[in-house]
A and B are shown apart, each in its own frame.
Chain A
Amino acid sequence: MAMMVDPPNGMGNQGKHYYTMWQTLFEIDTKYVPIKPIGRGAYGIVCSSINRATNEKVAIKKINNVFDNRVDALRTLRELKLLRHLRHENVIALKDIMMPVHRRSFKDVYLVYELMDTDLHQIIKSSQPLSNDHCQYFLFQLLRGLKYLHSAGILHRDLKPGNLLVNANCDLKICDFGLARTNNTKGQFMTEYVVTRWYRAPELLLCCDNYGTSIDVWSVGCIFAELLGRKPIFPGTECLNQLKLIVNVLGTMSEADIEFIDNPKARKYIKTLPYTPGIPLTSMYPQAHPLAIDLLQKMLVFDPSKRISVTEALEHPYMSPLYDPSANPPAQVPIDLDIDENLGVDMIREMMWQEMLHYHPEVVAGVNM
C-alpha cells in the first residue's frame, strides 16, 4: 500500500505531498492520492491513484533519474511528444505530466495515465479461458488502434502483450511509445533497439535497411498466435535462434520469398538453414476458428511486401462482425517527431519542460523560472 510520509530532509515543496511505495519515494501533486503500487512499466514504478479534482482513477508512473541515461531520456521525450497528439480509444491517454519544482535540475518525471486493470501478458498467462469472441475483440481493437497510428505515419515498433493494457470489460489500449518512430524519419539509420525479440519481424532480424508499418503487423500476428495458443509462438533465445523458429513454422522459403532481403550475406544465411516443410497453423491451434487461422496466416508472412496490411486485416472476414468501414478515424496530419539524436541532456530536460507546459497553462501564465 502507498504510505504517506514526511518530506525528505523535513522540507517539502509547495503543492506536493510524499508517499513511499516499494521503498520508492513519490513526490506528487496534492490533487493525486496514491492507492497502491501496480508495478508495470519498463523504466519506472507505477501506482494507482485518485485525482481528487475529478474523482477519476489514474496511473502515475515515476521515471527515476531520467537523465542518467541519455538514450533513455530521449526515449522518454519522444514518448511525451507523441502521446500529446494521440487521441484514440485504443491508444493510452497521457492525462498529465507533473511540473517539477526545479526547471533546470529536476531528475525524476511523473507521468499520469488513464488507469487500466491489467495487461494482455497477465491475461494470457492466467488460467481463465478466452473464447473466440475474446480473441476477436482484442485483435479488432489492436488493429483499430494501429490503423490510427499508421494513418498518422507512426510505427509503434515494440508491440507485445505487456504493452497492451486491458480492462475487465475487455477494452484494450496500446501503450509504451518509447520506441515509436514516424515513417518519414529523414535519413536516420534506424539501427537502435527495435521490438522485443520474440515479436520481431524477419526483415528486422535480417538487417534490412528499410522497413515500414509491416513490422507492426508481424508483431500483431505473434500476439494473435499467443492469444490462441496461450504461449509465445516464437520464443527465440538469440537472433539466429529466432529466425530458425520462424522458418521452422513457416517452412523453408522459396527464392521469391527472400528476394526482399537486400543484404546478400543474410540471404545466404537463410538459404543455409536446413529444409523444413513447416507446421500448419491448424495443427498448432486446433481449437481456433478457421477464419482466425486464415487471418493469422496472412499476418505471419515472411516477405513484408506480401504481408497483410492493418487496413486489409480489418477488412478480413474474421473481423466483419466488429469492423465498420464507415467508422474510420479521421485522417491525421503526420506528427513531426524529429528529435536530434545528439541532443545533450540539458536540452532534453528543457524540451521535456516545454512538453509539461502543454498540460499546465497556469504555469505559462505565471513567471517562468
Chain B
Amino acid sequence: MRGKKPHKELKLSVPAQETPVDKFLTASGTFKDGELRLNQRGLQLISEETADEPQSTNLKVEDVQLSMDDLEMIQVIGKGSGGIVQLVRHKWVGTLYALKGIQMNIQEAVRKQIVQELKINQATQNAHIVLCHQSFYHNGVIYLVLEYMDRGSLADIIKQVKTILEPYLAVLCKQVLEGLLYLHHERHVIHRDIKPSNLLVNRKGEVKITDFGVSAVLASSMGQRDTFVGTYNYMAPERISGSSYDYKSDIWSLGLVILECAIGRFPYIPSEGEGWLSFYELLEAIVDQPPPSAPADQFSPEFCAFISSCIQKDPAERMSASELLNHPFIKKFEDKDLDLRILVESLEPPMNISE
C-alpha cells in the first residue's frame, strides 16, 4: 500500500528547538535581547552594571505615563506593511494615537533586526517623521504607539483633489525633504518605500514620513513574498535593475510622487490609457526610456528643473536632500508664509477603514 520500502530503516535526529524560548522571553512576559527589555510597561535599555536591578535609562518623562492599559481601541484604521493599525485613545488624557501591532517572529535573524529597529525608533526625533512614542510587547505581538495623523495620507488627498498646485507642492516637498535629510544624514537610514500612502498629513498641514524600521523589516521577512502589483512603481532604476543603491534612491521615489501630484496620474501610465503597465513594461519604461518630466507648457521652469533634479536615472546626477532644500523651486515659495492647512481643511477626512 505504501509502495516499496527503503532498503534500510532511515532515521533523522530531530534538531533541538531552534532557540529555546527562554533565551528571548522571560516567564513574566518580557521580550529581551542584549540590553533591551520590552513588555507591557514599555521599552527599556538596561546598562550592564545595573542588570540585576533593572531601571530605565532611556524613558522620556512623557512616556512614563503611557502603558497598554491606558489605551482604548476605537477602530481599525489601516494595514501597514506587516501589521494592523488601530486608532486608540488614551483613557485619561484623551490623546489619539495610531497603534500598530506586529506579530513577533521567532526566527533569530528577524528578531535581531526588530531589536535594532526598535532602538532606532526609540531615538528618532524629527518634526517630519511620524513619532513613535512607545513600544510594547504583549501576548506575542510587538506594539508601536505612533503619532496619529488625522488627515490620512497623501494618497487619500490626491484621490480627492487629483492635482496639487505648485505652491502647495513646494511646501509639501520641503517637509518631506527635511524628513529625508534627517533619515539620510543623521540616522543613516534609507527609507526604501517612499510613496503617497507613506506620507501622512494632519489637520495642521504637517507632512510626515512613516512606515520604515520595524514595519519594513517585517514586510521583507514575511516569507519573501511579494507581488508585482504596486511593489516597484516608485523604485529607482538602479534598484529595480538589481544594482546597488543608496540614499539617492529615496529621492527618485519622492520625485515621482511629486510629479504624480502635479499631473494627476502616476507618471509612467500613458495618459491615453486607463490601465496599469505590466511589470515588464514598467521595467522597460523606467530602465530604458528617458525619465518622465513635467510639461514645460503647464509648469514653471523652477518646478520642471526640480523634478528633473530628482528623477535623473543616474543617481550620481540626482540631487541630495540637502541640495534640493536649496533648489529655486523650494526657495521661490519659502517667504510666502504658505502652509497646507488650507488645502487639507477643504477636503473630506479619509475613510475610516482603508483597505
Contacts and interface: CB of A to CB of B under 8 A. Distances in A.
Contacts of A38: 17
B10 A39 contact: no
Interface stretch (B120-128, B205-213, B274-282): B274-282
Given A244-B242, A263-B280, A321-B4, A170 B103 contact: no
Nearest to A44: B103
B29 interface: yes
Contact of B226 (A23, A131, A137, A239): A239
Given A191-B228, A265-B278, A327-B1, A118 B6 contact: no
Contacts of A70: 355
Contacts of B1: 327
- Chain B interface, DSSP helix/strand/loop, else mixed: loop
B25 A22 contact: yes
Nearest to B86: A68
Given A25-B139, A122-B18, A265-B283, A69 B79 contact: yes
B311 to A, nearest CB: 20
A170 B10 contact: yes
A45 B240 CA distance: 35
Interface residues of A, number: 59
Interface in A223-244: 238-241, 244
A240 B241 contact: yes
Contact of A134 (B10, B242, B279): B10
A239 B228 contact: yes
A126 interface: yes
B3 A144 contact: yes
Contact of B6 (A68, A137, A241, A324): A137
Contacts of A327: 1-3
B284 A268 contact: yes
A241 B25 CA distance: 36
Contacts of B160: none
A39 B15 CA distance: 14
A266 B280 contact: yes
B224 interface: yes
A193 B2 contact: no
B244 to A, nearest CB: 11
B138 interface: yes
B17 A197 contact: no
A128 interface: yes
Contacts of B281: 265
B14 interface: yes
Contacts of B279: 207, 239, 266
A37 interface: yes
A89 interface: yes
Nearest to B220: A237
Nearest to A160: B223
Interface residues of B, number: 48
B12 A168 contact: yes
A51 interface: no
A23 B3 contact: no
Interface in B222-243: 222-229, 240-242
Nearest to A69: B79
B29 A197 contact: no
Contact of A128 (B8, B12, B138, B241): B12
B164 interface: no
Nearest to B241: A240
A196 B11 contact: no
A339 interface: no
B269 interface: no
Given A263-B280, A269-B283, A64 B14 contact: no
Nearest to B84: A68
A198 B225 CA distance: 9
Interface in A132-165: 133-134, 136-137, 140, 144, 160
A321 B14 contact: no
Interface in A290-306: none
B50 interface: no
A240 B240 contact: yes
A322 B3 CA distance: 6
A285 B329 CA distance: 59
B64 to A, nearest CB: 23
Contacts of A268: 280, 284
Contacts of B11: 168-170
Interface of B: 1-4, 6-15, 17-18, 21, 25, 29, 76, 79, 84, 103-104, 106, 137-141, 222-229, 240-242, 278-281, 283-284, 355
Given A38-B17, A266-B279, 15 more contacts: A22-B25, A42-B222, A45-B140, A68-B76, A89-B2, A126-B15, A134-B12, A169-B9, A170-B10, A192-B227, A207-B228, A238-B240, A269-B280, A322-B6, A327-B1
